[in-house]
Amino acid sequence: MKAFTQLKGLACPIDRANIDTDAIIPKQFLKSIKRSGFGPYLFDEWRYKDHGEPGMDCTNRPLNTDFVLNQPRYKGAQIMLARENFGCGSSREHAPWAIEDYGFRVIIAPSYADIFFNNCYKNGMLPIVASHAIVDKLFKECEATEGYTLNVDLPSQTVTLPSGETFTFDIHPTSKHNLLNGLDEIGLTLLHAEKIKAFEGKHKSAQPWLFA
């Protein structure tokens, strides 16, 4: 998993509340568990005018030019601005896979569905909870200013706006540590690989009949 420390990136506003995981990555794309290649299908039913299927070449698909991700000013955005209850619906981990594979590393919203929120951390993304007032301000400024860039600093837990104004955000110490060091559950387990091997060796010596 990629570590996260600081990001200065273009923000993109997804101005809808209660966006569920089926909107983020529709159900037909859940057949693969490779954790990559989902970026072209992010918000598939909103980005394209035709029906998407796994393995489709998206380069020539008809675009919904009204959808924000298809607007040239937001090309290359790495910070998503969202509304309340983002990531609700089914618990599919494909949703954060698609968001991260597209290129987003940070999401800022007033609230998230719990499972989606935790899945973001497991995939190297930083989901920031901000007040409705702050989120409203970010949306307003972002939509009014082309090239609207935010500076997100995880060690200090701050987000700095183009004006220089800064707001802080909370994060659980364990989640912060794991993001800073690029650790998911597998990475955390591998930190104790030698102790695990020693335990397995001792267990096999004490109860060899279990390993016959």
- What pLDDT shows up at residue 95? 97
pLDDT exceeds 80 at position 28:
yes
Share of the chain above pLDDT 90, in %: 82
Q: What is the pLDDT of residues 154-166, one digit of tens each?
A: 999 999 999 999 9
Cα(103)–Cα(3) distance, rounded to whole angstroms? 14
C-alpha to C-alpha distances, 24 to 68, 137, 164, nearest whole angstrom: 14, 24, 32
Q: What is the pLDDT of residues 163-207, one digit of tens each?
A: 999 999 999 999 999 999 998 777 666 666 777 777 887 878 888
- What pLDDT shows up at residue 187? 67
| 4 Rama class: left (phi>0) / alpha (psi -120 to 50) / beta | beta
Q: 21-26 long-range CB contacts below 8 Å, 24 or more apart?
A: 21/87, 21/88, 21/89, 21/90, 21/91, 21/92, 21/94, 21/95, 21/113, 21/116, 22/89, 22/90, 23/89, 24/87, 24/95, 24/98, 24/99, 25/92, 25/94, 25/95, 25/97, 25/98, 26/52
Average pLDDT over every residue of 7-21: 98
- What pLDDT shows up at residue 94? 96
The answer to pTM > 0.85 is yes
Cα(132)–Cα(139) distance, rounded to whole angstroms? 10
Query: Quick one: fold of 6-181?
Result: Aconitase; domain 4 (3.20.19)
C-alpha to C-alpha distances, 202 to 103, 122, 209, 212, nearest whole angstrom: 45, 32, 13, 15
Average pLDDT over every residue of 57-64: 95
Share of the chain above pLDDT 70, in %: 96
Q: Which of 186, 160, 155, 185 is nearest to 173 (CA)?
A: 155
The CB density around residue 22, as the number of other CB atoms within 10 Å, is 15
**Between 130 and 36, the higher pLDDT residue:** 130
Q: What is the pLDDT of residues 103-140, one digit of tens each?
A: 999 999 999 999 999 999 999 999 999 999 999 999 99
The position carrying tokens 């954060």 is 96
SS3 132: helix
DSSP state of 48: B
- What pLDDT shows up at residue 1? 85
Q: What radius of gyration, in Å, describes the C-alpha atoms of the chain?
A: 20
pLDDT exceeds 90 at position 54:
yes
